[in-house]
RNA sequence: GUGGUCGUAGCUCAGUUGGUUAGAGCGAUAGAUUGUGGAUCUAUAGGUCGUGGGUUCAAGCCCCAUCUUCCACCCCA
């Protein structure tokens, strides 16, 4: 019998204790901020009905959904190849629908919308929730791109108020300053983008225009223009767009230029107005990070309708580590129209990679145990067990070495686990009642009374 | 999904035009020190060269397939 080499699926990862301690550091920081702003947690299942997920993320999104094969004889009752479906595409579509009815969730926003509709009568609106769970995408893995990763979502649904945009901006500011990550926060508004498309006379090409504009920083203005032409946008429209692509300078200047630009676009003016209000509030809030109004920011997800926001790390080359926006009618497709929501999502795994590369994790978080009792033998064990219970009652994480091995071995264990204090209780200490406490950092040690010891370890 | 790239000890990597028994550093283990870790010294262990085929007298090296990693596109956290 040949043993198989164990492995895990592409784009997934195991997490060691050292990694988990750090991951939890991120989750805790984010969760604490969410709580302070008055959000409550929910969880939803890893899998959803495929009908809930399909069609919500655009054509590309559908391809990236992990589908779950039905149980049982799922091939029963399926028509054979002769039944009129000649091309492979429609066959696959038909087959998929019949052999897979569930899929792994692609994000947390759509399941949240589904949740809100299903539980609408139990919820208090505006409903503020946070959700920290893994999501799955059948994407090709790359650095910072995984097939299983954690999102930390905060959303509020059931209010149009721009105060929530401001609140989410504050949350972003708090989270990244708590984690010590330097970021660029870009903010824009879908209505501004729609206004631009309208103003250049290509309203129906909104998506193509935004996708192209989003690449400006990466590929340069010529390629962007090429792409626009390729998508069938007229030379005249592209010409009109140039001032927007070159829009730079102070906020005030941007607003002036755009106001002029939007004389023919009601939507554009509305978007500008929203942007103005949000930025006005942020200006007065004394935030750590700067917010940059960037008309080129697009964000692919098609359900956004108002404010959109995206965060990138400044010191590490990585995709966006946080993003989100307002969606006016995400619950409409599930039968609850007129519910406006706004939310953002923190990418925990990318945040981890950024912090790791910039050495932002404090090394103190690695030490879980505060004190180790050295094991000298059965009599001493018995004695130490009581002290140990005492420490644990006081909330001091502590442990005893399981066997009376050579001191060297036990000290090495403490050293490698980053345990800052070692407590030695041998014959002498049992007689005097004063345990020897050793500080592993300085190497100093001295006999302490129980009270002293607790004080030292607390 | 399209095009490319990487894989050699636990980790980081050498390995010549194909040629005997595949190396180094770090780490690990044991000892130098029987109540003291980190530093130093000594010794030891550890590899089906990602996997499966093929070419060859001979493959870590060449060919094919496959898996994985990373990169570009697409898209995104």
pLDDT at A450 over 60: yes
Identify the weakest region by mean pLDDT among A60-74, A75-89, A113-127.
A75-89
Query: Which residues, 6 or more positions from A67, have their beta carbon under 8 angstroms from its beta carbon?
Result: A50, A96, A100, A102, A103
Q: How confident is the model at residue A95 (pLDDT cuts 50, 70, 90)?
A: confident
* Residue A46, both tokens: 């890893």
Calculate the alpha carbon distances from A180 to A289, A291, A354, A356 in Å: 11, 17, 11, 12
Cα–Cα–Cα angle for A109, A110, A111, rounded to 5 degrees: 95
Measuring alpha carbon to C1', the residue closest to nucleotide B77 is A347
The rounded radius of gyration (Å) of the Cα atoms in chain A is: 29
Peptide bond into A126 cis (omega under 30): yes
Q: What is the pLDDT of residues A322-379, one digit of tens each?
A: 999 999 999 999 999 999 999 999 999 999 999 988 888 887 777 789 999 999 999 9
Q: What is the CATH number of domain A367-457?
A: 3.40.50.800
Q: What is the pLDDT of residues A314-327, one digit of tens each?
A: 988 888 999 999 99
Measured CA to C1', what is the nucleotide nearest A445? B36
Helix, strand, coil abundance in chain A, percent, nearest 5: 45, 20, 35
Give domain limits for chain A.
Answer: 17-44+104-357, 47-77+85-103, 367-457
B43 C1' to A277 CA distance, Å: 74
Between CA A72 and CA A51 the distance in angstroms is 20
Answer with the residue of higher pLDDT: A94 or A164.
Answer: A164
Determine if strand B comes within 7 Å of the CB of A440: yes
* Residue A51, both tokens: 């009908």
ipTM: 0.85
B63 C1' to A5 CA distance, Å: 26
Determine if strand B comes within 7 Å of the CB of A11: yes
* Residue A283, both tokens: 């200006």
Between CA A237 and CA A97 the distance in angstroms is 41
Between CA A78 and CA A306 the distance in angstroms is 44
Between CA A30 and CA A318 the distance in angstroms is 19
Query: Which residues, 6 or more positions from A127, have their beta carbon under 8 angstroms from its beta carbon?
Result: A116, A156, A157, A158
What does the longest C-alpha to C-alpha distance in chain A come to?
95
Q: Which of 3.30.1370.160, 3.30.360.10, 3.30.450.20, 3.30.930.10 would CATH assign to domain A17-44+104-357? A: 3.30.930.10
């Amino acid at each position: 019998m040949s043993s198989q080499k164990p492995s895990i699926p592409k784009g997934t990862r195991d997490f060691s204790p050292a990694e988990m301690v750090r991951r939890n550091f991120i989750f805790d920081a984010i969760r604490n901020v969410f709580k302070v702003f008055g959000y409550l947690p929910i969880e939803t299942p890893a899998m959803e009905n495929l009908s809930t997920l399909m069609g919500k993320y655009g054509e590309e999104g559908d391809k990236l959904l992990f589908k779950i094969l039905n149980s049982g004889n799922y091939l029963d009752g399926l028509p054979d190849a002769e039944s009129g479906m000649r091309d492979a595409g429609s066959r696959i579509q038909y087959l998929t629908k019949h052999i897979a009815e569930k899929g792994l969730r692609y994000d947390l926003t759509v399941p949240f919308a589904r949740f809100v509709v299903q539980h609408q009568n139990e919820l208090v609106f505006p409903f503020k929730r946070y959700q920290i769970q893994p999501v799955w995408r059948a994407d090709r893995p790359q650095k910072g791109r995984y097939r299983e990763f954690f999102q930390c979502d905060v959303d509020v649904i059931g209010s149009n108020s721009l105060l929530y945009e401001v609140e989410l901006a504050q949350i972003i500011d708090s989270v990244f300053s708590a984690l010590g990550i330097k970021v660029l926060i870009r903010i824009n508004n879908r209505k501004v983008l729609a206004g631009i498309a309208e103003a250049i006379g290509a309203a129906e090409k909104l998506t193509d225009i935004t996708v192209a504009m989003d690449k400006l920083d990466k590929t340069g203005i010529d390629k962007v223009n090429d792409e626009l032409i390729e998508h069938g946008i007229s030379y005249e429209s592209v010409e009109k767009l140039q001032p927007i692509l070159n829009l730079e300078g102070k906020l005030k200047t941007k607003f002036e230029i755009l106001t002029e630009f939007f004389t023919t676009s009601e939507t554009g003016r509305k978007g500008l107005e929203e942007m103005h209000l949000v930025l006005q509030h942020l200006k007065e809030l004394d935030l750590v990070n700067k917010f940059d109004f960037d008309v080129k920011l697009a964000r692919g997800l098609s359900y956004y309708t108002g404010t959109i926001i995206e965060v990138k790390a400044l010191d590490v080359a990585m995709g966006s580590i946080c993003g989100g926006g307002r969606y006016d009618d995400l619950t409409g497709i599930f039968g609850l129209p007129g519910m406006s929501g706004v939310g953002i999502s923190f990418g925990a795994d990318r945040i981890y990679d950024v912090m790791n590369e910039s050495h932002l994790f404090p090394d103190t978080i690695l030490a879980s145990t505060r004190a180790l009792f050295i094991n000298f033998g059965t009599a001493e064990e018995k004695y130490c067990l009581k002290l140990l219970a005492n420490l644990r009652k006081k909330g001091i994480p502590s442990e005893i070495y399981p066997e009376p091995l050579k001191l060297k071995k036990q000290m090495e264990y403490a050293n490698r686990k980053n345990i800052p204090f070692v407590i030695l209780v041998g014959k002498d200490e049992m007689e005097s009642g004063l345990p020897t406490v050793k500080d592993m950092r300085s190497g100093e040690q001295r006999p302490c009374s129980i009270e002293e010891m607790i004080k030292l370890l607390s």
